[in-house]
Structure 1
Amino acid sequence: MAEFDTIRSAAGTRAAQIDEGLRAHMNKVYGTMSVGMVITALAAWAIAGLATTTDPSVAAAQLPNGTLLSNFGVTLYGSPLRWVVMFAPLAFIFFGWGALMRRGSAATVQLGFYAFAAIMGVSMSSIFLVYTPYSIVQTFIVTAIAFSALSLYGYATKRDLSAMGTFLMMGVVGLLVAMVINIFLQSPAMMYAISMIGVLIFAGLTAFYTQDIKNTYVAHAHHGDQEWLDKAAYDGALSLYISFLNMFQFLLMFMGQQE
């Protein structure tokens, strides 16, 4: 009997350690994601500031909404460089992140995440040329509230979301194809449909990724490989970061007030 009590006590202690570790792990995920958001916002704001000017005498071009572009802005948004800026984040995700996770240390993976956040900021900088600052902030707040609720659901629910996640990832591929096609078609109706579907897809992925991050930690915590768990936290932060930013951008197409 005493031996059984000892085993039960040890199991309870181990479960408590995993719960405590999980909380620390999730805090690291959300903290890393938040730092990435700050980096993205600062990079986007700084690049937009360099790309525009208020002095007509030094302006290189003027947008239909009256925004004046500097020489840097014309180069960034009006030359073939814009395609590099547009697709650089996708290239990083598809060709760089996996290799970084396999071969890099936890510190290198963290640095790679922050570098990606900066690249994303450059890619997103054009929103400051199209939408008013008020509508950008308003949409960000709405996205943050929705994201928090969805992530909380994914963490707390007992329902297995893995099947939904697989379906939604297939939807992301279709969404990317539709967006590339619409770059050339420039169809407002198609863009509206893409935006609506995009919000739904990344809303679902937010809940799925949160549950997956939690389950992954619980499944591997007993191995005690802290280096791997640190890398997994940065990988989880990237997943949630991407979901948040995509929800934000698609919602901005609905809610954003243009300049």
Structure 2
Amino acid sequence: MADWDDRTRQSFGSVPRAGGDVASRTTFDAGLRKYMLSIYNYMGSAVMLTGIVALLLAMNGMVNGAVLMIGALGSLGIVFAMSFGAQKFSAGTLQAMFWGYAVLMGMAISYIFVVYTGPSIAIAFFATAGAFAGLSLWGYTTKKDISGWGSFLFMGVIGLILASLLNVGWAFFTGAPIQGLDLAISILGVLIFAGLTAYDTQRLKNDYQHLRGTNWERKSIILGALSLYLDFINMFLFLLRLVGATRN
């Protein structure tokens, strides 16, 4: 999702100067608040939709291999399509894909209601919500430029994926995961997506000055909501793996 960001960053207008017109500054600030609120509304609604779908599937005994596979592969396909096809899709199409993604993710993570106890899921969720709120607020208000975190955090995500695949492969051939690796993956996963929460919040805030009033503004709201949604869901899942109590 960095492609469109880098291109538009070079071609659109800039934020009013600090010493410029007060009315322009006020208008800009009001637009920024509306822009960010729209992102959080989309993101929060998607998290709620994902949770409802996952819970309903678990309550009705519909959590099985087919449902999990459809959810995992379908959501992966949509996120790649949204990330790399944002230019050719309309904002309405991206919005429909975003809600479809939330539903498919509900299918993909419905297993948590079978594997983990209800109280541990609730604890992990509210802990994630609190951490997300604090980190996002810090990313929005800090004067420190954390744009340099992007490459480091991206490499961290790649490392998590490779380590997870290695652990799964080892468990498949030996019957047991690599000792201590699962714990390390969970801890690093929480830390990496915590960092991405602050990074993405600041990135989205800075993007507004380049995107406001353009055709990309509505698209960027949906893509921004997707970024924060992924940060939240992944931080929650890694935290649940770390502290969650299983049913057996």
TM-score, structure 2 length as denominator? 0.84
Q: Does 1:114 align with 2:99?
A: yes
Give me the whole-angstrom Cα distance separating, in 1, the residues matched to 2:95 and 2:77.
Answer: 18
Report the equivalent of 2:159: 174
Alignment: residue pair count: 225
> Shift in Å at residue 176 of structure 1?
1.0
Letter in 2 for 1:17: T
Report the equivalent of 2:8: none
When the two chains are superposed, the root-mean-square deviation of aligned CA atoms in Å is 2.0
Give me the whole-angstrom Cα distance separating, in 2, the residues matched to 1:143 and 1:256.
Answer: 13
Q: 1:161 to 1:8 in 2, by over 3 A?
A: closer
Q: Does 1:238 align with 2:229?
A: no
Q: Deviations over 1:224-252 (max 9, x none)?
A: 21x31111011111101000011100110
Q: Deviations over 1:112-136 (max 9, x none)?
A: 1111011111000000111011111
Give me the whole-angstrom Cα distance separating, in 2, the residues matched to 1:236 and 1:129.
Answer: 31
Q: Of 195, 200, 209, which aligns to 2:186?
A: 195
**Partner secondary structure for residue 246 of structure 2:** coil
Q: 1:152 to 1:8 in 2, by over 3 A?
A: closer
> Shift in Å at residue 255 of structure 1?
1.5
Q: Deviations over 1:143-184 (max 9, x none)?
A: 000000000000001111111121101111111111122222
Letter in 2 for 1:242: L
Give me the whole-angstrom Cα distance separating, in 1, the residues matched to 2:197 and 2:185.
Answer: 18
After TM superposition, list the pairs within 5 Å mapping 1:77-96 onto structure 2. Answer: 77=65, 82-94=68-80, 96=81
Identical columns (%): 39
> Shift in Å at residue 92 of structure 1?
2.4
Report the equivalent of 2:41: 31
After TM superposition, list the pairs within 5 Å mapping 1:1-259 onto structure 2. Answer: 11-50=21-60, 52=61, 73=63, 76-77=64-65, 82-94=68-80, 96-186=81-171, 187=177, 188-221=179-212, 224-225=213-214, 227-259=215-247
Which stretches of structure 1, 4 residues or longer, exceed 3 Å deviation after superposition?
A: 7-10, 81-88
Q: 1:87 to 1:194 in 2, by over 3 A?
A: farther
Q: Give unmatched runs, 5+ long, in structure 2.
A: 1-16, 172-176
Q: Give unmatched runs, 5+ long, in structure 1.
A: 1-6, 53-71
Point out the structure with the larger helix share: 1
Letter in 2 for 1:38: M
Question: Is this contact kept in 1: 2:78–2:97, CA < 8 A?
Answer: no
